Amino acid sequence: MKIIMLGAPGAGKGTQAKMIADKYGVPHISTGDIFRANIKNGTQLGIEAKKYMDQGMLVPDELTVKILLDRVSKDDCSRGYVLDGFPRTIPQAEVLENALNKIHDQIDYAIDVDVPDENIINRMSGRRACLSCGATYHVVHVPPKAEGICDRCGNELILRDDDKAETVKKRLVVYHEQTQPLIDFYTKREILRTVNGTVDMNVVFEEIVKILGEKA
């Protein structure tokens, strides 16, 4: 069971990816994690990737896919995996597809967690974080007992720059320009499945489980 998670930043695709991985006993793989692991372990692929990252450059798609294929070749991926954060663009999707075809493999599902932009802006701009202990809150959904104060350690809560409405809007513009075309890409390959990401995360997960039941 090989799955790609799609969705705008803040749509909750990472949470769903972790829930899928836990239920089905397959790895949740993000490109950021495997980059860090390769660099930490000093692998040849990690050394190559670090050259680009140290210069503030994006790691080329071909190298990213090499690192990804190396990861999915591990024993723990024998029953499948969930990709989170890759591919982000059509060229990345094409490089990945071609690489998988060469080893007679393919993605089973691309699952799009669909949430309107307005909902995402409200979700993310309502987040508050404690820099001291790492606790996170939401002013509407998970508010602290005392406004602006962390329940755990009593320190001040902040709105991170990444969660400010103007920053979120910019990220959504990039998403719609670069990543949303993947929806058409995977629709043409008849593997796209869309779930409503505006409802409770457990309801979203139930819908995903139904979809994956098609392959189970």
Smallest Cα–Cα separation from 86: which of 166, 188, 17, 1?
17
What interhelical angle do 13-24 and 201-212 show, nearest 10?
A: 50
9 with 171: CB under 8 angstroms? yes
The answer to whether residue 56 is domain-embedded is no
Alpha carbons 156 and 148: distance in angstroms, whole number: 6
Q: Tell me which residue range forms the domain holding 86.
A: 2-27+74-116+176-212
Question: Tokens 């409405």 correspond to what residue?
Answer: 165
The answer to whether residue 19 is domain-embedded is yes
- Residue 108 CB contacts under 8 Å (≥ 6 apart), including other chains: 1, 2, 3, 80, 191, 215
Q: What is the pLDDT of residue 55?
A: 85
Q: What is the pLDDT of residue 141?
A: 86
pTM for this entry: 0.84
Instruction: Please provide the average confidence, as pLDDT, over all residues in the chain.
Output: 92
State the CATH number of the domain containing residue 196: 3.40.50.300
Alpha carbons 132 and 20: distance in angstroms, whole number: 31
What average pLDDT score do residues 110-135 get?
A: 94
Domain count, the chain: 1
Q: What is the pLDDT of residue 215?
A: 57
The answer to whether residue 86 is domain-embedded is yes
126 with 14: CB under 8 angstroms? no
Q: Which of the residues are catalytic?
A: 13, 88, 127, 160, 171
